[in-house]
Chains A and B, each alone.
Chain A
């Protein structure tokens, strides 16, 4: 039976341990998986967001340039209206009017071109036919947007519009135009952008117009030339085609672990391409920081969970051992109780005849072994008048008499061991302090007993004897005490106590 219980206990513990371990493993694995999934999802989000963001940025910047161009054309139309209304009588006056227009309409390097292709600016008059492609034709029929390269100097966006019917100082004029330094356009975009992105302007053949760098593509470098080292042949051909055809697109450059995505969009009417870049690593760093935090939190969660599980398992184990111990204790208690029930008199609660016999055996063993030689007394107590009470007052009263007798004995022989060894017979064994106080206790109880005769209360005949050197067993002492008990019974009868007779 005990073996079966142990086996069940062990099985319970093993099941708890294995179950906890499995739960922990599954939990740890799912957390790790969730953590990695978060990182990969974040990576995908970075690419998607950065590409989307860059495309939007490229478009926005292209639109900004387009707006600038449109505004300048509108202002040139206004300028022509102003000039037509002016009565210009000398070249000096013409220069003043051009200067006024530049200031009022914020037109950079505003110039007029006559039919001989002579260019008039606020401070200069020069022959420009060979300089600007748009001036080479005899007549300008529509707006022209072109790029001018100033040798050794800046690159300019040239916007020309026809000046139909304009005549100054008797000379027909064919156009007016403005030159906008591409560096100023870059500065404008930079201002709008507040330095959040890298951007650069390129020609269709990849030439850098803005002299700005774009990550791996160096400042002022040709994007088609520079990107060759970082992208595949197919990607490069697509890039070249997109630039040639003025199509939107993107490319990813990778070098030394640095990944950069560039998005480009055509700037309408200019033949330019606007390219924008945010180092993916920058976005990545931010996202990675978030991912790292998530990972740290996940790890902490895993550690906390593992610790919790370990603590839980430990508590479970301890609890289980405690339960086992409690069960064991209960078993023992039950066992003790059963044993106690076997040795206890159910009516009085003191030890019974069986207990006396066991105790007697134990003491006899001690006597035989020499451990017990003296300082032990046996008292034999007989309740007087039990039969009379049973007969006259009923068994309940008889039982009460026995209980009263037992109480009287227990009250006086506090340091003794009381046994009910028969119907109306008790035995008390006194050792140690009980033995030492025998005489006075006996006197005290006998006095009370004698007083009880007249008060019709419980009367007990007590005979006692002490262990002698010659005694071989407790029964020897008991017999002497029993004899003396009978003598005492007679004495008490003489004093008026009721007896069985």
Chain B
């Protein structure tokens, strides 16, 4: 977003934005914030939907009241929501399926796995979990031992993983559907000295280190730079009164790349300047 803002400034266009992320994902918190936002004079409101069932009606209501609302990042609102556009990951289901396929291949299509979903109702987390479940279902020798919601919290993910390992000795794999849970799972696995294979999402610094160490098998990395950059670009076009169409699509898809141990070093250097 900063880069897009900078490029606009170079052209003499000042874009002012507020980007306020909560400490932890919460649909209720988001609902409250949206009601606050309505009091201010914003040209465009972008929402990273925490729970499509709770937030989508709020967005519809805001649209009906004349607010220009768009969604971005990993979770779009529910189908039919009146938000103007979405920029971000449109293939969460596929991401979940791809990660799980990688895990199944690693396990030789035989074994018991657990799924850490993330936030209940968060479309991106739920879609990934669904993709994972459907993939597992396709292999007769694969079995889902547990499905848990960590609410996108590292601490929760850590505790849940310990619990799953305790309840499922010899667990073969864990599928992590958001940014926090691969870290929590990896911490627990390391602590227990387990050889359970972890696959997960996103590019948390600690997760990348676990990837490099071989604790995490692979990570699905979303193109966050493009998501931010394109979100601001689309937001400006919406603020100018342009509807989706030739200037921007109603859904702008950003890619996800699955990276493995050999990619960890370069990713760490690229994102965090870490040289191992």
- Using a CB–CB cutoff of 8 Å, the interface residues on chain A facing chain B are 95, 118, 123-127, 130, 147, 149-153, 155, 203, 205-207, 209, 222, 224-225
Contact = CB atoms under 8 A, between A and B. Distances in A.
A151 B269 contact: no
A124 B3 CA distance: 12
Nearest to B204: A130
Contacts of B272: 149
B247 interface: no
A203 B3 contact: no
Contacts, number: 65
Interface stretch (B17-25, B117-125, B136-144): B17-25
Contact of B225 (A95, A126, A127, A153): A153
Contacts of B275: 203, 205-207, 222, 224-225
Contacts of B269: 207, 222
B15 interface: yes
B212 to A, nearest CB: 14
Contacts of B19: 124-127
10 contacts: A124-B1, A124-B5, A149-B270, A149-B271, A151-B271, A152-B226, A153-B3, A155-B273, A203-B273, A224-B275
Interface in B136-168: none
A126 B273 contact: no
B14 interface: yes
Given A152-B3, A153-B225, A125 B273 contact: no
Interface of B: 1-3, 5, 9, 14-21, 223-226, 229, 269-276
Contacts of A149: 270-273
Given A149-B273, A151-B224, A123 B14 contact: yes
Nearest to B225: A152
A194 B215 CA distance: 49
A366 B9 CA distance: 132
A124 B18 contact: yes
B17 A123 contact: yes
A302 B226 CA distance: 72
A177 B141 CA distance: 56
A152 B17 CA distance: 20
B128 to A, nearest CB: 21
Question: Which of B9, B20, B269, B271 has the largest number of chain A CB atoms within 10 A?
Answer: B269
In the A-B complex, list the 6 residue pairs whose CB atoms are closest, starting with the nearest.
Answer: A152-B225, A205-B275, A126-B19, A125-B18, A127-B21, A123-B16
Given A123-B15, A152-B229, 13 more contacts: A123-B5, A123-B16, A124-B1, A125-B18, A126-B18, A151-B270, A152-B225, A153-B2, A153-B3, A205-B275, A205-B276, A209-B273, A224-B275
A153 B3 CA distance: 7
Contacts of A95: 16
A151 B225 contact: yes
Nearest to A206: B275
B188 to A, nearest CB: 22
B36 to A, nearest CB: 13
Contacts of A224: 275
Contacts of B271: 149, 151
Contacts of A127: 19-21
A151 B268 CA distance: 10
Contacts of A125: 17-20
Nearest to B6: A153
Contacts of B9: 123
Nearest to B276: A205
Contacts of B276: 205
A152 B20 CA distance: 21
B73 to A, nearest CB: 14
Given A151-B224, A152-B226, A153-B225, A124 B2 contact: yes
Contact of B274 (A150, A205, A225): A205
Question: Which of B18, B224, B225, B270 has the largest number of chain A CB atoms within 10 A?
Answer: B18
A152 B267 CA distance: 11
A150 B225 CA distance: 9
B20 A118 contact: yes
Contacts of B3: 150, 152-153
Contacts of A147: 273
A127 to B, nearest CB: 4
Contacts of B229: 152
Contacts of A130: 21
A242 to B, nearest CB: 15
A6 to B, nearest CB: 90
A293 to B, nearest CB: 47
Nearest to A118: B20
A124 B20 contact: no
